[in-house]
Amino acid sequence: MRYFLVKSSIAIVSAYLFTATVLYASDRGHEEPHWGYDGIAGPEKWGSLKSGHERCQDGERQSPIDIKISEATEGKTLESIFVHYTNAPLEIVNNGHTIQVNGDGHSTAVIGGKEFTLVQLHFHEGSEHTVDGKQYPMEVHLVHQSEVGELAVIGVFMDIGDPNEVVKTVFDNMPAQAGEKKVDDGIKINATGLLPDRRGFYHYLGSLTTPPCTQIVEWYVMKEPITISEAQHAQFQKLYKNTFRPTQELGARKLLHK
């Protein structure tokens, strides 16, 4: 029963965060531009593109943010993150916005003292979060969901340096066309290789960084980046560039660190 719930969660979260289509049909029966990262459907227009996206425009708990180190308070009650990721068969999708790797329901993490399942991970070219205004070349988001539907996302900055073996496996198998999927049980992915050795993090309450920008995410952004090579970065840029939402105001929210 638990496995069925996890598999259902994978489908729900994957569909909720991203879509493989480039256009959506309106109630008036004609095609309207789907959200994107520039032009008439760029981030500043997300809130008015479609009913249900209003939080992108008027939300008070939006993501990503610029992490100002001097404003981060030590979270004395924050618990460490413990991951128990397994070797999962490759299931990779070009969803029209990024490259997404789906989990198989067996990789878990204890975050904030609760157990979550890793449902998918995906990449942004140009990090979405910044640190004191600094933007990293890329950021990977590891999306987790609890059995009752809570979302916890671990964000990891990707800097230029040594190549990353997990990234190599993913990028060497990226489908080139939007909507295309590749499944290969003979290729295994272990997301542990996308985490830094030191697991200090920043924590705040936020939202999805794509429409509908729903404010349901607990964010855990790793302090330490991982590295990818210039060649790996360029490999991803052949498919997607500048796929980041601009930073949003922190407002009255607390930014904690551990």
Active site residues: 97, 122, 124, 128, 141, 209
* Cα separation, 129 vs 138, whole angstroms: 10
Instruction: Give kind and range of the element (H or E) at residue 219.
Output: strand 217-222
Compute the chain's Rg from CA coordinates.
Answer: 17
Please give the single-letter amino acid code of residue 113. Answer: G
Count Cβ atoms within 10 A of the Cβ of residue 68 and give its class: 0-12 exposed, 13-18 middle, 19 or more buried.
middle
Please give the single-letter amino acid code of residue 57. Answer: Q
Please give the single-letter amino acid code of residue 124. Answer: H
Peptide linkage before 175 cis (omega within 30 of 0):
no
Q: Residue 29 is encoded by which pair of tokens?
A: 């029966």
